[in-house]
Amino acid sequence: MDLNALKVVTNDTMKALRKYDIVTPQLFKEIFFDKAKAHNITIDPEELDHKTAELTLEKVYAIEEQTVENSHLLQRNIDMASTAIDKQDKALLEEVQAQMEELSRRITMLESQLYMDELTKAYNRKWLFEKFLVDERFTQNGTLVFLDIDKFKEINDTYGHVTGDKVLEMITQLTQQIEASETVRYGGDEFILISRTQDKHALEHQMYLLSHTLDHKRFKFQGHTFQVHISYGVIDFQKGEAFANVIEKVDKKMYTHKKSKDYVVP
């Protein structure tokens, strides 16, 4: 089973499962295959065994339990703060402050589990869908960059997946340096940069500089050198616009950029 395909389908599956109070491994598998079919992704049923579903659900339930515990802790702190204020109890207020700092740390860790891509530490699709979309439509205006690494499969096949992973991490680090934008690993070697404040021309200029830097950089692997190139498209989106339409348009822009290169891209 292709790992990137698995991640895409899993994200959509977890989103669909939110409306259920009780989720069984069988329900998970049924929705998983429905989502795979919607993406035209073929999954071998034997590869998604009962244990895989159970392990995925264990992670979901662990996050859910932690969320409930954090909610209870928050309510206790509110009650303690109210009491401390009424009694002007400085020691109790200090205790509340310490507990709120611990709660903040827990929430940060929980958000990292929910919204971060484990390999690159970029945001994942779940973050994008929950922070910018409602019913698959944008909740605000903004600008979106769709980025893809040229010949990435060739890099993986030639230098190995460990090197490929390092390239993904490097691209994430570079894009995260672009001001007023957030980096999302959309899937495989595809990334999205999204901004509420940067306009199209500003992001196009910054992406040009990033691409230009990569085009003149050499990477070394066991005595061999290779290059990393990217293709990208940039587009403005409007509040209420369908995410699928925006992705379709920006993907065409990215592909046009890819075909304009003076080297052959398969």
CATH of the domain at 164: 3.30.70.270
Phi and psi angles of residue 164, each rounded to the nearest 5 degrees, phi first: -60, -40
* Torsion on CA atoms 226, 209, 132, 20, rounded to nearest 10: 10
Q: Which of 62, 83, 115 is the last residue of a domain?
A: 115
Q: Which of 115, 139, 172 is the last residue of a domain?
A: 115
Q: Are residues 105 and 216 in the same domain?
A: no
Is the distance from CB of 43 to CB of 58 less than 8 angstroms?
no
How much is the pLDDT for 223?
82
Q: Buried (b) or exposed (e) across 159-190, using 16+ Cβ within 10 A?
A: beeebbeebbebbbeebeebeebbbbbbbbbb
Q: Are residues 71 and 153 in the same domain?
A: no
Q: Are residues 58 and 151 in the same domain?
A: no
How much is the pLDDT for 250?
96
SS3 content of the chain, % helix, strand, coil (to 5): 60, 15, 25
Q: What does the pLDDT average to over 8-36?
A: 68
Tokens 């598998």 — which residue? 29
How much is the pLDDT for 56?
55
Task: Please give the radius of gyration of the chain, using alpha carbons only, rounded to the nearest integer.
Answer: 22
Q: Indicate whether 1 pLDDT > 50.
A: no
**pLDDT tier at 130 (50, 70, 90 boundaries)?**
confident
Residue 265 lies in a domain: no
Of 74 and 189, the structure prediction assigns the larger pLDDT to 189
- What is the C-alpha to C-alpha distance for residues 67 and 262, in angstroms, rounded to an integer? 51
Phi and psi angles of residue 6, each rounded to the nearest 5 degrees, phi first: -60, -40
Q: What does the pLDDT average to over 218-230?
A: 89
Q: How many CB atoms are located within 10 Å of the residue 35 CB?
A: 20
Residues 6+ apart with CB under 8 A from 101: none
Residue 81 lies in a domain: yes
Q: Are residues 93 and 160 in the same domain?
A: no
Cα 248 to chain centroid distance, Å, stands at 19
- What is the C-alpha to C-alpha distance for residues 235 and 159, in angstroms, rounded to an integer? 33
Q: Are residues 80 and 160 in the same domain?
A: no
Q: Are residues 131 and 250 in the same domain?
A: yes
Residue 20: give the domain boundaries: 3-115
Express each pLDDT in 28-70 by its tens digit: 767 777 887 877 777 666 555 554 555 455 555 566 566 656 6
Q: Are residues 255 and 129 in the same domain?
A: yes
Q: Which of 66, 90, 115 is the last residue of a domain?
A: 115
Q: What does the pLDDT average to over 115-138?
A: 89
* Torsion on CA atoms 16, 17, 18, 19, rounded to nearest 10: 90
Beta bridge mates, 221: 224
Residue 201 lies in a domain: yes
Q: Indicate whether 117 pLDDT > 90.
A: no
**pLDDT tier at 103 (50, 70, 90 boundaries)?**
low
How much is the pLDDT for 265?
41
How much is the pLDDT for 155?
92
Q: How many CB atoms are located within 10 Å of the residue 226 CB?
A: 15
How much is the pLDDT for 147?
97
**pLDDT tier at 85 (50, 70, 90 boundaries)?**
confident
How much is the pLDDT for 59?
59
